[in-house]
């Protein structure tokens, strides 16, 4: 009998080299050969299932052949079905047919036959199809509990209430369901998991490449308390407290990925809403060249991080990759010859050779207090997770003036507005010009799926309207747009890349800042000095075929609304004001 790898090679699905790579990965990750192939993205789970069906001579049950109504069987426990990923799909007086992900396991058929006291036939099923069937099975088991959780707990003491919650969270179906939710996030490459109770039921959503996507496989509403209790147990929260917000953390390993889940719960009118931020330690890119920098922007940015002292700021909204860019910046420096200390809330990733401090508000270890202590540690480079208040900003500026390179983040829309933000925080303009080297504004745009991106012709009106002409190559008349396929979950996009706006404070900019210019004037003056805006950097990626025009407009629309008029009038004022400075 041919091995599954040989079958797939014969079918032209994979190469001999792919088989060797998979065997090496299997030695490290463990698991079945076919499962490892799917994890590596070399073939689909359907390809593996069809090959396995041929190899074992076991029928493969298609998704359409699963029964609409749940088949209940006396003697077969729900825990057994969930633990072994097996579900009943047909039943007659003579035999009961089951679908399983591992039908070749003789224990499954033997155990089922003994439990039912009649023959059991086991067919092959896709994991996704079996999970959906098991979820329907679970929902059916929960039907009839109309009065919800409150009736279950009525008359119980506090200790009994907590014990009941622990029992709920420790049941095998609930454990499996929570694991499936987390596994699904890894498969989708999601950054956040949202579990939200509403009047019409429990909603499950994943944020993929910065955009929320509804999951059609939302759990039954009656399972909400059990799911919340399970997640709270894993993240070391108080499972009995459902009236106050709580924060926790789960460290786990899923499909070869070291995951750090930051868990947040808040009480809502329909129950507890849970959000889990997914930090995949294995997927972080700590190389500036992988961050999406344009060549000219990267070259100028690297000159700033190699300066011996001064402040370098990163700006952008939450989730724009500021911290990741700071980590990549630190990773590009020589930590063996430099003393690098960071103050973060929280410490997201641990860096080799870098002293990282976690802010602890409960013991009053704030950014400002940690910074004062850092200055006595003889640092060369200081990274401040975020300049949140006046005291932190002022200490950061003073640190730069005393010979340290300070990297930090600010929440502003444009690079130029970071200057006015520092002034609002109480830092004088003469201190800003003396200490700040530059400001990098950043956004993340989704990159087009390489399997389905579609070429479209550019109309002259489109080129004029969006200002594409300066970035088009000679003779170029087409760009790409998103279409959607199975590989990218029909979104048209796969992964994200950054676009940047680098505002460098040179002598000319110092004069404009000292003249009292506002953020609009500063932005106009920087453009006059040759600064590429976020929108323009996005257009460069559109022309290069990396992203779509619609995606750049979505991400930078706050920058582009009436930009031409604002810039034109601001530039005129800058010409008048700059000589007077």
Contact yes or no for 466/510 (Cβ under 8 A): no
β-pairing, 405-410 vs 478-481, is unpaired
* Segment (H or E) for 311: strand 310-315
Number of residues assigned to the chain: 581
Query: DSSP string of 186-210?
Result: HHHTEEEEEEEEETTEEEEEEEETT
CATH class of 288-574: alpha beta
Look up the pTM and report it: 0.66
H/E run at residue 382: strand 381-384
Residue 411: its pLDDT value, please?
87
- Give the integer Cα–Cα distance in Å for 34 and 40: 10
In angstroms, rounded to a whole number, what is the distance separating the alpha carbons of residues 8 and 47? Answer: 8
pLDDT at 33: 81
Distance CA 534, CA 539 (A): 9
Task: Give the pairing of strands 436-448 and 478-481.
Answer: unpaired
Beta strands in 125-210, from DSSP E residues, in sequence order:
190-198, 201-208
Give the SS3 label for residue 504. strand
pLDDT at 246: 92
- Yes or no: domain 162-280 corresponds to CATH 3.40.50.10780: no
Helices (H) and strands (E) in the chain, counts: 23, 18
480 is written with which tokens?
A: 């790409």
Query: In a structure prediction context, what are the per-residue pLDDT tens digits for the chain, which is 581 residues long?
Result: 347 778 888 878 788 888 888 888 777 666 778 777 777 778 887 888 888 888 888 888 888 888 888 887 877 877 788 778 888 988 888 888 999 888 888 888 888 888 888 888 899 988 888 888 887 777 676 554 434 444 444 444 556 656 666 666 666 778 888 888 998 888 888 889 999 998 888 899 999 988 898 987 788 887 888 888 889 988 888 887 888 999 988 888 877 677 889 999 999 998 899 999 998 766 666 788 888 899 999 999 999 999 999 999 999 988 888 888 998 999 888 888 899 999 988 787 778 889 999 888 778 888 888 998 998 999 999 999 889 888 899 999 999 999 999 999 998 888 999 999 999 999 999 999 999 999 999 999 999 999 999 999 999 999 999 999 999 988 898 999 999 888 888 889 988 999 999 999 999 999 999 998 898 999 999 999 889 999 999 999 999 999 999 999 999 876 554 444 444 444 444 444 444 43
The residues spanned by each domain of the chain are 4-136, 162-280, 288-574
What backbone torsions phi and psi does residue 354 show, to the nearest 5 degrees?
-115, 130
Q: Which two tokens stand for residue 228?
A: 């919340």
Which pLDDT score is estimated for 581? Answer: 37
Q: Per CATH, which fold does 4-136 belong to?
A: GMP Synthetase; Chain A, domain 3 (3.30.300)
- DSSP, collapsed to helix, strand or coil, labels residue 386 as coil
Angle at 381 between CA 376 and CA 387, to 5 degrees: 90
């Amino acid at each position: 009998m041919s091995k599954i790898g040989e079958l797939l090679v014969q079918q032209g699905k994979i190469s001999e080299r792919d088989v060797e790579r998979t065997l090496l990965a299997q030695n490290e990750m463990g698991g079945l050969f076919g499962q490892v192939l799917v994890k590596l993205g070399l073939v689909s789970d359907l390809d593996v299932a069809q090959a396995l069906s041929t190899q074992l001579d076991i029928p493969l049950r298609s998704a359409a052949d699963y029964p609409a109504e749940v088949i209940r069987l006396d003697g077969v426990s729900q825990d057994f079905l969930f633990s072994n990923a097996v579900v009943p799909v047909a039943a007659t007086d003579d035999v009961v047919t089951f679908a399983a992900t591992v039908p070749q396991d003789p224990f499954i058929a033997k155990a089922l036959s003994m439990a039912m006291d009649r023959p059991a036939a086991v067919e092959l099923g896709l994991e996704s199809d079996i999970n959906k069937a098991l979820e329907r099975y679970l929902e059916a088991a929960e039907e009839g509990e109309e009065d919800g959780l409150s009736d279950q707990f009525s008359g119980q003491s506090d200790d009994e209430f907590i014990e009941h919650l622990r029992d709920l969270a420790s049941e095998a179906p609930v454990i499996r369901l929570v694991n499936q939710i987390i596994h699904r996030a890894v498969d989708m490459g999601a950054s956040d998991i949202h579990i939200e109770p509403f009047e019409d039921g429990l909603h499950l959503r994943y944020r993929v490449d910065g955009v929320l996507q509804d999951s059609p496989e939302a759990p039954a509403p009656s399972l909400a308390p059990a799911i919340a209790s399970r997640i709270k147990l894993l993240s070391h929260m108080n499972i009995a407290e459902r009236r106050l917000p709580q924060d926790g953390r789960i460290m786990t390993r899923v499909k070869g990925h070291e995951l750090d889940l930051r868990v947040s719960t808040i009480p809502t009118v329909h129950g507890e809403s849970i959000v889990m931020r997914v930090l995949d330690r294995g997927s972080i890119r700590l190389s500036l060249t992988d961050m999406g920098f344009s060549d000219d922007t990267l070259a100028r940015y690297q000159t700033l991080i190699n300066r011996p002292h001064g402040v370098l700021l990163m700006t952008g909204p939450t989730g724009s990759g500021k911290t990741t860019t700071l980590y990549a910046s630190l990773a590009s420096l020589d930590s063996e010859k430099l003393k690098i200390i960071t103050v973060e809330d929280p410490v997201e990733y641990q860096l080799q050779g870098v002293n990282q401090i976690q802010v602890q508000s409960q013991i009053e270890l704030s950014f400002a207090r940690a910074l004062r202590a850092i200055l006595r540690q003889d640092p060369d480079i200081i990274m401040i997770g975020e300049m949140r208040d006046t005291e932190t900003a002022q200490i950061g500026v003073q640190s730069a003036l005393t010979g340290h390179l300070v990297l930090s983040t600010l929440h502003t829309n444009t690079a130029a507005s970071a200057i006015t933000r520092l002034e609002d925080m109480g830092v004088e303009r003469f201190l800003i010009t003396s200490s700040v080297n530059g400001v990098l504004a950043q956004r993340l745009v989704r990159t087009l799926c390489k399997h389905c991106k579609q070429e479209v012709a550019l109309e002259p009106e489109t080129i004029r309207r969006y200002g594409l002409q300066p970035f088009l190559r000679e003779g170029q008349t087409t760009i790409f747009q998103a279409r959607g396929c199975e590989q990218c979950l029909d979104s048209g996009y796969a992964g994200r890349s950054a676009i940047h706006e680098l505002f460098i404070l040179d002598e000319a900019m110092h004069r404009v800042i000292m003249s009292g210019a506002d953020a609009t004037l500063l932005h106009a003056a920087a453009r006059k000095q040759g600064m590429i805006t976020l929108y323009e950097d996005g257009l460069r990626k559109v022309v290069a075929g990396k992203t779509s025009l619609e995606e750049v407009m979505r991400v930078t629309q706050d920058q582009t609304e009436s930009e031409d008029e604002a810039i034109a009038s601001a530039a005129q004022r800058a010409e008048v004001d700059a000589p007077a400075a």
